[in-house]
Structure 1
Amino acid sequence: MKWSELKVHTTNEAIEPISNILHEAGASGVVIEDPQDLYREDDVKLFGTIYELDPNNYPEEGVYIKAYLPVNSFLGETVDEIKQSINNLVKYDIDIGHNNVTISEVNEEEWATAWKKYYKPVKISEKITIIPTWEEYEPVSSDEIIIELDPGMAFGTGTHPTTVLSIQALEQYVKEGHVVYDVGSGSGVLTIAAAHLGAKRIKAFDLDEVAVKSTQINVKLNQVQNRVEAEQNNLLEGVEPGADIIVSNILAEIILEFIDDAYDKVQPGGYFITSGIIQGKKNEVKEALIASGFEIVEVNAMEDWISMVAKKPE
């Protein structure tokens, strides 16, 4: 089978929404070529990220997002729909940068293996290391938590700053026996992290059926399926109250849609962990959280991204 490599030259801010657009268009995974990855010495010291990158693969500014689509009679229509969806992101005040979209053809063998070189074991917090399913890895300490993930199954590899910020917050606030709701579960990495950190029950919600299936596969891979319920749902609509922690790594515009619902569904004294917030939306989200009754406990940043931890008063 022949495959087409679609490459989008865009901004760091647009990585998550464009990756989601590509996923919904039928891409089984994305490759992100971000020149910032070449110079993350501090991150390497802190979290031990180890892999070799070729500077020639990276743009001088912005990022490349690559996806692989099968060459068929619908390819032209699919590409047009992708371009239109990306153009529509400006309605949400998302900077799409150059927005150059190029297409090239690759054979099946190249497609099947090319993107895997970008994913290596990554230590993203004090306790948690994420490894791709095909990589061998020996824990460096007895209390290290290993999450195995197949990043080709759904958007969410665990290495993006928004995910790192979310997991670091979960590591700090999840206690043994907690009930956690993961809103917009993607590949299920936050759900799995919460389970490994001691949560007794995790409900994972995603509007995308493919993401729900991916979460289910990955929780089984990590042997935490007995504590996880993954289902298709629009945010927290119709969900029963009772969460000790609600976590959501999603666009700020979507977070703003269900802050009141999150306040209703989390227990008094519980936490709402939000991530995926660009700098320009920081104050808007913060003000909305406070208006709903939350107290802001933490505001953290990594690169151009913000995460917030808000607490419902007891």
Structure 2
Amino acid sequence: MKWSEIKIHTATEAVEPVSNILHESGASGVVIEDRQDLFQERSTLYGTIYDLDPSSYPEEGVYIKAYLPVNSFLGETVEEIKEAINNLVTFDIDIGKNNVTISEVNEEEWATAWKKYYKPVKISEKITIIPTWEEYEPVNSDEIIIELDPGMAFGTGTHPTTVLSLQALERYVTTGDQVVDVGSGSGVLSIASALLGASGVRAYDLDEVAVKSTTINVKLNKVQELVTSEQNDLLVGITEQADVIVSNILAEIIVQTTGEAYNLVKPGGYFITSGIIKGKKELVRNDLEDKGFNILEVNQMEDWISIIAQKPE
């Protein structure tokens, strides 16, 4: 089969929404080449650091690459992708240069070569994410291992927004908690919640591909008795209360959910938000406070923000 590589030169702020557009258009995964990665100091505490090739990165901004089958619908699909990216400006999202290029590649070149760069990654004190094909021995007895197959979509679970969410869950989820994951994507946050001791996790996503991906990954990690995955528009129509609600989505979407989240989270419970670009921090923080939440933590990784809020008892 012939494949076409679509490469989009965009801005850091647009990485998450552009990646989602590509997934919804049929891409089974994306490659993100961010110039900032070349200059980031990385600790070797959690594992091996792999050298990066500067020639693969843009002078500024981010390259996002995805692979689509060459067929009679390719031209139409590419045009739909371009239109969807252009529409992001209506959400006040910086899309940078927004240059889109297409090139043909051989299946062998991309289907397996990328796997050598995807190794086990220790995300936090307890949580380690590993690819399904890697052998890994836990370092200590309380280490939590999450297996993911990034070929199924929604990345490897190591994007800063996901890392911030996982670290927050590790601190705030306790044994027996009821957790709601809004915008579940791969299901990694739902899986982590279950492995951290939650007695029940409800994962919601509007995208049916995400629901399927969550279901597959949940079974892969043997927590299907604890996690349910359903298609739903954010928290619309949800009535069951939760001890913790986690939402790793765009800032503009988070502020659409804060009122419902406040009503659903139990007194003393937590609303963990992530996916917030640095420039939208105050938008989310002010909205959370306006709805009645107390802000406990504001954490940052690269250009991304996570805010942990608590409902007063």
TM-score (norm 1): 0.96
| More off after superposition, 54-63 vs 10-19 | 54-63
State whether structure 2 residue 140 is matched by structure 1 residue 134. Answer: no
| More off after superposition, 80-89 vs 105-114 | 105-114
| Counterpart Cα distance in 1 of 2:8 and 2:125 | 34
| Counterpart Cα distance in 2 of 1:142 and 1:111 | 36
Q: Which residue does 1:160 correspond to in 2?
A: 159
> How far 1:97 sits from its partner (Å)?
1.0
Within 5 Å, which residues of 2 pair with 1:1-314?
Answer: 1-41=1-41, 43-314=42-313
> How far 1:49 sits from its partner (Å)?
5.0
| Counterpart Cα distance in 2 of 1:88 and 1:48 | 39
Q: 1:156 to 1:205 in 2, by over 3 A?
A: farther
* CA-atom RMSD in angstroms: 1.3
| Counterpart Cα distance in 1 of 2:122 and 2:300 | 18
CA displacement, residues 220-253 of structure 1 (integer Å, 9 cap, x when unaligned):
1111111001011111111123100000000001
Q: Could you tell me whether the CA contact under 8 Å between 2:30 and 2:155 is conserved in 1?
A: no
Amino acid aligned to 2:181: D
| Counterpart Cα distance in 2 of 1:188 and 1:232 | 13
> How far 1:53 sits from its partner (Å)?
2.7
| Counterpart Cα distance in 2 of 1:36 and 1:241 | 41
Unpaired runs of 5+ in structure 1?
A: none
| Counterpart Cα distance in 2 of 1:11 and 1:114 | 26
Amino acid aligned to 1:228: V
| Counterpart Cα distance in 2 of 1:115 and 1:45 | 21
Amino acid aligned to 1:34: D
> How far 1:54 sits from its partner (Å)?
2.2
> How far 1:13 sits from its partner (Å)?
1.1
| More off after superposition, 43-52 vs 66-75 | 43-52
> Matched residue pairs, number?
313
Amino acid aligned to 1:250: I
> How far 1:114 sits from its partner (Å)?
3.5
| Counterpart Cα distance in 1 of 2:241 and 2:48 | 37
| Counterpart Cα distance in 2 of 1:303 and 1:188 | 23
Q: The residue matched to 1:97 in structure 2 has which SS? A: coil
> How far 1:46 sits from its partner (Å)?
4.8
| Counterpart Cα distance in 2 of 1:60 and 1:139 | 39
| Counterpart Cα distance in 2 of 1:121 and 1:40 | 19
Amino acid aligned to 1:247: V
> How far 1:80 sits from its partner (Å)?
0.8
> How far 1:132 sits from its partner (Å)?
1.1
Q: Could you tell me whether the CA contact under 8 Å between 2:28 and 2:152 is conserved in 1?
A: yes
Q: Could you tell me whether the CA contact under 8 Å between 1:241 and 1:264 is conserved in 2?
A: no
Q: Could you tell me whether the CA contact under 8 Å between 2:29 and 2:155 is conserved in 1?
A: no
| Counterpart Cα distance in 2 of 1:289 and 1:48 | 36
Q: The residue matched to 2:146 in structure 1 has which SS? A: strand
- Identity across matched positions, percent: 76
Q: Could you tell me whether the CA contact under 8 Å between 1:51 and 1:120 is conserved in 2?
A: no
Unpaired runs of 5+ in structure 2?
A: none
| Counterpart Cα distance in 1 of 2:97 and 2:175 | 47
Q: The residue matched to 1:216 in structure 2 has which SS? A: helix
Q: Could you tell me whether the CA contact under 8 Å between 1:31 and 1:115 is conserved in 2?
A: no
Q: 1:49 to 1:262 in 2, by over 3 A?
A: farther
| Counterpart Cα distance in 1 of 2:110 and 2:70 | 12
CA displacement, residues 40-98 of structure 1 (integer Å, 9 cap, x when unaligned):
33x42453353343222112221111000000111111101111111111111111111
| Counterpart Cα distance in 1 of 2:3 and 2:290 | 49
| Counterpart Cα distance in 2 of 1:58 and 1:24 | 25
| Counterpart Cα distance in 2 of 1:56 and 1:156 | 23
| Counterpart Cα distance in 2 of 1:305 and 1:49 | 23
Q: The residue matched to 2:162 in structure 1 has which SS? A: helix
CA displacement, residues 108-166 of structure 1 (integer Å, 9 cap, x when unaligned):
22231143344221111111111111222222222211110011212142111000000
| Counterpart Cα distance in 2 of 1:29 and 1:150 | 10
Q: The residue matched to 1:191 in structure 2 has which SS? A: helix
